[in-house]
Amino acid sequence: MATSANVLTLHKVSYKYDDAKSFALRRVDAAFEAGKIYTIIGKSGSGKSTLLSLLAGLDVAKGGEILYGKKSLKELDRDDYRARNIGVVFQGYNLLTNTTAVKNIVLSMDISGSKEADKKQYAYDLLAKVGINRETAERKILKLSGGEQQRVAIARALSHEPNVILADEPTGNLDSETEEEILAIFASLAHDEGKCVIIVTHSKRITAIADVIYGMNAGSLTQMRAK
Amino acid sequence: MFIFTNAMENLLRNKGRNILIMTIIFLIIATTVVALIINNTSSAVIEDYKTRFSSQVSISPDMEKVREEAMSGASGGMISMRMPIIEPELLLSFAQSEALQRSEAYASVSADSDSLTAIDQSDDEENGSGPAGPGGSISGSSGPGGNVGFSIRGAGNYRLYGGFWEAFNNGTRALVDDGISALPAADNECLVSQELAELNGIKVGDIIRLQVQMSYDIPADADLTGYADGDSYRINGQTYTLNQGLSDIFFASRTVEVALKVTGIYDDLNDAYDNENMPKMAAFNHRNEILTTLDTLLSLRSTNENNINLIVTYFLKSPDLLADFEAYARDAGLSDLFLVTTDAASYDRIVKPVVALKSITLTFMIVVLVLGAIILILLTLIAIRERKYEIGVLRAMGMKKAKVALGLWTELLVMTAICLVLGLGVGALAAQPITDVLITQQAEAAAPDTAGPGGPMTTGSGGPIGVSVIGAPVMISGSGAGGNLQPLSEMDIAIGFDTILEIIAIALLLATLSGLVSTSRITRYEPIRILMERN
Ligand SMILES: Nc1ncnc2c1ncn2[C@@H]1O[C@H](COP(=O)(O)OP(=O)(O)OP(=O)(O)O)[C@@H](O)[C@H]1O
Ligand SMILES: [Mg+2]
What is d(CA B365, CA A121) in angstroms, rounded to the nearest whole number?
52
Between the CA of B503 and the centroid of ligand 1 the distance, in Å, is 51
Q: How would you class B169 by CB atoms within 10 Å of its CB: exposed for 0-12, middle for 13-18, buried for 19 or more?
A: exposed
What is d(CA A213, CA B289) in angstroms, rounded to the nearest whole number?
117
pLDDT band at B26 (very low <50, low <70, confident <90, very high): very high
pLDDT band at B438 (very low <50, low <70, confident <90, very high): confident
SS3 sequence, A77-135? CHHHHHHHHEEEEECCECCCCCCEHHHHHHHHHHHHCCCCCCHHHHHHHHHHHCCCCHH
Mean pLDDT over the full length of chain B: 80
- Answer whether A169's CB lies under 8 Å from A49's CB: no
* pLDDT value of residue A25: 95
Q: Which of A200-214, B35-49, B64-78, B232-246 bottoms out in mean pLDDT, i.e. has the lowest?
A: B64-78
pLDDT band at B343 (very low <50, low <70, confident <90, very high): confident
- For residue A17, give the chain B residue with the closest CA: B529
B196-222, pLDDT tens digit by residue?
999 999 999 999 999 999 988 887 778
Higher pLDDT, A219 or B153: A219
**Preferred mutation among A90, A97, A103, A166 to probe B, highest tally of B CBs within 10 A:** A90
Higher pLDDT, B129 or B195: B195
Q: What is the mean pLDDT of residues B120-130?
A: 56
What is d(CA A161, CA A181) in angstroms, rounded to the nearest whole number?
19
Higher pLDDT, A117 or B306: A117
List all residues 6 or more positions away from A155 whose beta carbon is below 8 Å from its beta carbon. Answer: A101, A105, A123, A126, A127, A129, A130, A132
pLDDT surpassing 80 at residue A5: no
How are beta strands B309-316 and B289-292 bridged, if at all? unpaired
Query: A-B interface: how many C-beta pairs under 8 angstroms?
Result: 65
Higher pLDDT, B449 or B453: B449
What is d(CA B463, CA A120) in angstroms, rounded to the nearest whole number?
77
Q: What is the mean pLDDT of residues A44-52?
A: 94
Q: What is the mean pLDDT of residues B412-438?
A: 89
How are beta strands A196-200 and A37-42 bridged, if at all? parallel
* pLDDT value of residue B474: 28
Higher pLDDT, B532 or B22: B22
CB-based contact, A24 to chain B, within 8 Å? no
- Answer whether B393's CB lies under 8 Å from A96's CB: yes
pLDDT surpassing 90 at residue B354: no
Q: What is the mean pLDDT of residues A195-224?
A: 93
Cα dihedral angle (B44, B45, B49, B50), rounded to 10 degrees? -40
pLDDT surpassing 90 at residue A156: yes
* pLDDT value of residue B162: 94
Pick from B105, B100, B467: which is nearest to B319 by CA? B100
What is d(CA B164, CA B426) in angstroms, rounded to the nearest whole number?
48
* pLDDT value of residue A227: 63
pLDDT band at A16 (very low <50, low <70, confident <90, very high): very high
What is d(CA A184, CA B216) in angstroms, rounded to the nearest whole number?
125
pLDDT surpassing 70 at residue A52: yes
pLDDT surpassing 90 at residue A172: no
Q: What is the mean pLDDT of residues A189-205?
A: 92
- Answer whether B212's CB lies under 8 Å from B160's CB: yes
Between the CA of A47 and the centroid of ligand 1 the distance, in Å, is 6
Chain B residues whose CB is inside 8 A of the A107 CB are 2, 6, 397
* B399 contacts A79? CB cut-off 8 A: yes
* pLDDT value of residue A109: 95
Of B398, B401, B526, the CB nearest to A112: B398
- Answer whether B99's CB lies under 8 Å from B159's CB: no
Which residue has the CA at smallest separation from atom 28 of ligand 1? A45
3-class secondary structure, B432:
helix
Output the pTM of the full model: 0.65
Orientation of helix B2-13 relative to helix B15-54, angle to 10°? 100
A159 beta partners: none
Q: Which amino acid is at A30?
A: A
DSSP characters for B43-97?
Answer: HHHHHHHHHHHHTEEEEEE-HHHHHHHHHHT-BTTB---------HHHHHHGGG-
DSSP state of B474: P
Q: What is the mean pLDDT of residues B410-418?
A: 91
pLDDT surpassing 60 at residue B469: no
Q: Which of A196-200, B74-78, B389-393 bottoms out in mean pLDDT, i.e. has the lowest?
A: B74-78
What is d(CA B284, CA B119) in angstroms, rounded to the nearest whole number?
10
pLDDT surpassing 60 at residue B460: no
* pLDDT value of residue B204: 95
Chain A residues whose CB is inside 8 A of the B14 CB are 98
Give pairs for B193-196: CB < 8 Å, separation 24+.
Answer: B193/B265, B193/B266, B193/B267, B193/B268, B193/B286, B193/B287, B193/B288, B193/B289, B194/B265, B194/B266, B194/B267, B194/B268, B195/B119, B195/B287, B196/B116, B196/B118, B196/B119, B196/B287, B196/B288, B196/B290
B42-85, pLDDT tens digit by residue?
888 888 887 777 788 888 888 888 888 777 766 555 566 677 88
CB-based contact, B387 to chain A, within 8 Å? no
pLDDT surpassing 80 at residue B515: yes
CB-based contact, B524 to chain A, within 8 Å? no
What is d(CA A221, CA B380) in angstroms, rounded to the nearest whole number?
43
- Answer whether B268's CB lies under 8 Å from B170's CB: no
Residue B341: what are its φ and ψ, rounded to 5°? -140, 160
What is d(CA A68, CA A57) in angstroms, rounded to the nearest whole number?
10
- What ligand has the least distance to the C-alpha of A23? 1
- What ligand has the least distance to the C-alpha of A53? 1
* B531 contacts A90? CB cut-off 8 A: yes
Helices and strands: H and E segment counts in chain B: 13, 12
Pick from B409, B397, B404, B14: which is nearest to A107 by CA? B397
What is d(CA B433, CA B436) in angstroms, rounded to the nearest whole number?
5
Q: Which of B37-51, B378-392, B497-511 bottoms out in mean pLDDT, i.e. has the lowest?
A: B37-51
pLDDT band at B153 (very low <50, low <70, confident <90, very high): very low
Q: What is the mean pLDDT of residues A140-152?
A: 92
CB-based contact, B16 to chain A, within 8 Å? no
Q: Which amino acid is at B491?
A: M
Mean pLDDT over the full length of chain A: 92
pLDDT band at B534 (very low <50, low <70, confident <90, very high): low
pLDDT band at A107 (very low <50, low <70, confident <90, very high): very high
Between the CA of A168 and the centroid of ligand 2 the distance, in Å, is 7
List all residues 6 or more positions away from B138 whose beta carbon is below 8 Å from its beta carbon. Answer: B150, B151, B152
Pick from B149, B151, B462, B475: which is nearest to B310 by CA? B475
What is d(CA B152, CA B214) in angstroms, rounded to the nearest whole number?
9
Q: Which atom of ligand 1 is closest in space to residue B529's alpha carbon?
A: 1
* pLDDT value of residue B436: 85
Give the rounded percent of residues in chain B with a pLDDT score beyond 90.
Answer: 32
What is d(CA B114, CA B128) in angstroms, rounded to the nearest whole number?
4
Which amino acids bring their CB within 6 angstroms of ligand 1? A 17, 19-20, 24, 42, 44-50, 91; B 529, 532-533
What is d(CA B41, CA B465) in angstroms, rounded to the nearest whole number?
24
* B393 contacts A84? CB cut-off 8 A: no
